Structure 1
Amino acid sequence: MPVVICKFLDTFTAMEIFRDASKNTGFLNGQFLLAMPGMDDSRFARSVIYVCAHSEKGAMGLIINRAQEMEFADILVQLGVLDEEQAIVMPERTRDFLVRSGGPVEMRRGFVLHSDDYLTDSTMPVAEEICLTGTIDILRAISGGRGPRKALMTLGYSGWASGQLETEIANNGWLTCQAPQELLFDTDMDRKYDRILSHMGVDPSRLATVAGHA
């Protein structure tokens, strides 16, 4: 098990990430990005990304179909939410909460994407019924059984500078589609990419000729 010193954002930093997107919601907010076969960056091969923030200044999203080696209980212990004895006796549902690799940027930063039945001062709306919290309070809530009904956690995120993501889509780097909650929050990592294509009615063998669309 690798030693990863997990960090969660303070309220100010979380606000900075979403400030522009909240004022001018981009058309990609709350959508999936699926990497096309011709994706130049191997770090994103067959990746599914949920776009959390999109504005004229750039975009930020989370890869949701790659599991992180570090387990949720280890993160709770590192952050001092629980001690090792408490982590051992956590309920199975909480202990098995999957941690995902959200992207190559700030790979020790933690984010929780979740349903809107959990809200704090640091929670940011992303799309209808979907929010993101990047502060440690949500980990305490989840570990104590008081967390949101649906949630996923990532370490790291994926980011694009102004106009970069739009250019990549225009160059057939990404396929875009709406993001149903049942496909967003489920834990079937291995089949998620193909299941989303099937949901879209896209034949994988024809992906090379399909242009990105919103």
Structure 2
Amino acid sequence: MKQLMEPESGSFLIANPHLNDPNFVRTVVFLCEHDATGTVGFVMNRKTGHTIGDLVPDFEGFDFPVYEGGPVGLDNLHFLHQYPEAIPGGKEVLDGVYWGGDFEILAGLLSEGRIEPQKVRFFLGYSGWGEGQLNFEMEEKTWIVAKATREFLFSDDETALWKNILTHLGGDYKLIINAPIDPRLN
């Protein structure tokens, strides 16, 4: 994994410890779209407590977890997957990782037992930044940017994801892992 200077599609935004926005404290956001008009991504390390079967009647009985994608569009369900041949219509955002696609086909594959839980991730809502907004946050040093990897993207230990990525980046990043959320408590 390599640290990047600027956000791009297929990268992680790792919240700096001083970020006190409750939507993003100690989060890792995977960016699926980043251009001059704005940015869209999904928080990778916060489960909602719901499964896809709880939220979609056609998926009753499926216990795939649903994650908080972010504070925007909370009535929308999104998904990332590693099934480009089986689920058409997705956008490749990282080598072999796709955002979205034909939901009806996904439903059929799920009901046939042809989807592995470690190769798909569901999100309620998304994280979004308008034109120039993320650039401002980058100037404020709110985020650390790193190239995303499938290893971390589909990690089965989402609670340790923030620390694991910073540890993997090494150097000074390892030092901030134990920083208090509120610096006044230091």
* Same fold, judged at TM 0.5 (above): yes
Give distance in 1, aligned partners of 2:72 and 2:85. 26
Give distance in 1, aligned partners of 2:75 and 2:108. 18
CA contact (8 A) 1:35 1:47 kept: yes
> Superposition pairs for residues 102-181 of structure 1, below 5 Å?
102-133=69-100, 135-137=102-104, 138-147=106-115, 150-181=119-150
Greater share of strand = 2
Give distance in 2, aligned partners of 1:134 and 1:40. 34
- Name 2:161's counterpart in structure 1: 192
TM normalised by structure 2 equals 0.81
Secondary structure at 1:70's aligned position in 2? Answer: strand
Percent identity of paired positions between Structure 1 and Structure 2? 31
- Name 1:75's counterpart in structure 2: 55
Secondary structure at 1:145's aligned position in 2? Answer: coil
Match of 2:19 among 26, 32, 39: 39
Residue segments in structure 2 that go unaligned for 5+ positions in a row: 1-5, 180-186
Q: Write the deviation string for residues 145-180 of structure 1: whole angstroms up to 9, x where unpaired.
A: 233771111111000001111221121000010111
CA contact (8 A) 1:39 1:173 kept: yes
Residues 1:123 and 1:154: Cα distance change in structure 2 (over 3 Å): same
Give distance in 1, aligned partners of 2:107 and 2:68. 17
Match of 1:98 among 57, 60, 65: 65
Q: Write the deviation string for residues 168-203 of structure 1: whole angstroms up to 9, x where unpaired.
A: 112100001011111110121211110011111122
Q: Write the deviation string for residues 49-100 of structure 1: whole angstroms up to 9, x where unpaired.
A: 00000010000000010001222211231xxx25xxxx34xxxxxx331210
The structural deviation recorded for 1:134 is 5.4
Give distance in 1, aligned partners of 2:124 and 2:112. 21
Q: CA RMSD in A?
A: 2.3
CA contact (8 A) 1:31 1:51 kept: yes
The structural deviation recorded for 1:205 is 2.9
Secondary structure at 1:169's aligned position in 2? Answer: helix
TM normalised by structure 1 equals 0.71
Residue segments in structure 1 that go unaligned for 5+ positions in a row: 1-25, 89-94, 209-214
Task: Report whether the alignment pairs 1:203 with 2:174.
Answer: yes
Amino acid corresponding to residue 166 of structure 1 in structure 2: N
